[in-house]
Structure 1
Amino acid sequence: MKASPEAQRRLLDLQAVDTALAQLAHRRKTLPELAEIDTVSRELSALEDERVRAQVAVDDLDRDISRFEKDIEQVRIRKDRDQKRLDAGGALKEIEGLQHELATLNRRQSELEDAELELMEQKETAESALASVKQRLEAALARRSEAEARRDETLADITKEQEFKQSSRAPLAADLPAELVTLYDKIRLDSGLGAALFQSGRCGGCRIELYGADLARVKAAAPDEVVRCEECRRIMVRTKESGL
């Protein structure tokens, strides 16, 4: 393929734009905020599981405490009924039976109240754990929100830069021979770099230095000959800086 030396030189300008676009695309995919958001999201998932477990523990204790309160209330009702019957008097055997039942009910009430007190202490600990995980959830949500805001701001800047570069690429490519741009784009899409400066006997793409017949081939090529590297197949652009 042949193309004027000037057209080949402008390939380097096109490659510079494409390199910048590739860097912007890579930056878009590898923003530190993306990794941070992913990490915090996993943390949030774990914290939400912990919150659910903590809430279930509190709810279970609430249910158990409520059951004890009902049992205690039933004991109190029976005690009040027996006490009224005892105060009303009656046969000695009946009085002794009521006194025995009241003593049993008192013990039962004391046992229930002790058990309820223990559950209430456990509930206080469980509520503290629930409050702690909720605080950590809120903090993690705030961190993720802040990271998302930074991500969105950076992505907006990248998008603007990409649009600017794309707008500058179009006239560059349009001003070059279509066949040359087609070859360049094919190589670039395959390897990420379509054209590179040939300088000091070295391909600017693969950085391999040419010797002997390979170097002689490049030196002997006509100025309008599109020369490609035998190793990486990229277009080697020769300019005044090439030192040929």
Structure 2
Amino acid sequence: MKATPAEQNELLRLQSIDTGLQRLDHAARNLPQDAERTALEPQLATVRAKHAARTGELEDARIELRRVESDVEVVEARIDRDSGRLQQTASVKDIQGLETELASLRTRRSDLEEIELTVMERIEELEATLADIDEERTALTAQFDALESARSQELGVLDARRAALGDDRETVLRGIPTELVALYEKQRARYGTGAALLQRGVSLGSNTALNANDLDTIRRAAPDDVVLCPESSCILIRNEESGL
């Protein structure tokens, strides 16, 4: 394949841009915020699970309290009813029966009030625990959101740089023959590097010094011959730095 030295030299610019794009892609895949978010996610999941569990316990306790309060209301209503009947009857038998039932009802009310107090104390404890969990969850969520915001900002910066390099790449491509670009893309896809400079006998595509036979072959090539690095298979660019 033939291409002018100037056209071949443009491949170095193209390779530099593509290397920059690869670095940006690597940076986008390895943002420090991603590692921090990954470390934070189990903590956030744990505190959310604790919050859900305590919320369920609190709701159960409140339901139990409402049931006990309802039972107390029923017992008090019966006490009021029997007390009224006791005031209105003159029958000794009825009086004895009502007094026995009232004693039983008052005992039941006392038991229910103790249960009510116990449930209320449990609700207070659960509410305090839930408040602490809420505080922890809020702090972790804020930390997670801050990381997400920082991550989005960093991605925005990387995207802007990628767009700028993309524009530069399109500009460079317009000065390189299509066939030469195709060879460059083919070698880059296969071997990772599409083009590299031969600098003082060292291929920067493989970072190794070429042997005498390879250098002699390259010296004999015409300036517009496209040559490949015998070590890395990338297009080898020759200029005044090559030491030929």
Structure 2 residue aligned with 1:172: 172
Q: Which residue of 2 aligns with 1:218?
A: 218
Aligned residue for 2:241, secondary structure, equals: helix
Q: What does residue range 64-75 of structure 1 map to in structure 2 within 5 Å?
A: 64-75=64-75
Deviation at 1:194, TM superposition (A): 0.7
Hey, what does 2:163 align to over in structure 1? 163
| Identity score, percent | 37
CA distance in 2, matches of 1:233, 1:192: 10
Aligned: 1:61 with 2:92: no
Residue segments in structure 2 that go unaligned for 5+ positions in a row: none
**How far has the Cα of 1:66 moved from its partner?**
0.6
In the alignment, which residue of structure 1 is the partner of 2:50? 50
* Number of residue pairs aligned between Structure 1 and Structure 2: 244
Segment of structure 1 superposing worse, 146-155 or 56-65: 146-155
225-234 vs 208-217, greater mean Cα deviation: 208-217
CA deviations over 1:182-217 (Å, ceiling 9, x no partner): 111222233332111222433212223332433433
| Matches of 2:191 and 2:177, distance apart in 1 | 21
What is the aligned partner in structure 1 of residue 17 from structure 2? 17
Per the alignment, residue 86 of structure 2 pairs with 86
Aligned partner of residue 166 in structure 2, secondary structure: helix
Q: Could you tell me which residue of structure 2 aligns to residue 133 of structure 1?
A: 133
Q: TM-score, normalised by structure 2?
A: 0.87
Q: CA contact under 8 A between 2:191 and 2:233: conserved in structure 1?
A: no
Could you report, residue by residue, the CA deviation over 1:13-65 in whole angstroms, capped at 9, with x for unpaired residues?
11111111222222223222344445555654444333322221111111101
Cα distance in 1, alignment partners of residues 146 and 139 from structure 2: 11
Distance 1:134 1:191 in 2: 54
| Residue type of the alignment partner of 1:173 | L
Question: Is 38-47 or 129-138 further displaced after alignment?
Answer: 38-47
**When the two structures are superposed, what TM-score results if normalisation uses the length of structure 1?**
0.87
| CA RMSD between the two structures | 2.4
Q: Distance in 2 between matches of 1:191 and 1:47?
A: 48
Distance of 2:237 and 2:157 partners within structure 1: 32
How many angstroms does 1:171 deviate by?
Answer: 2.2
Q: CA contact under 8 A between 2:201 and 2:215: conserved in structure 1?
A: yes
Provide the secondary structure at the position in 2 that maps to 1:198.
strand
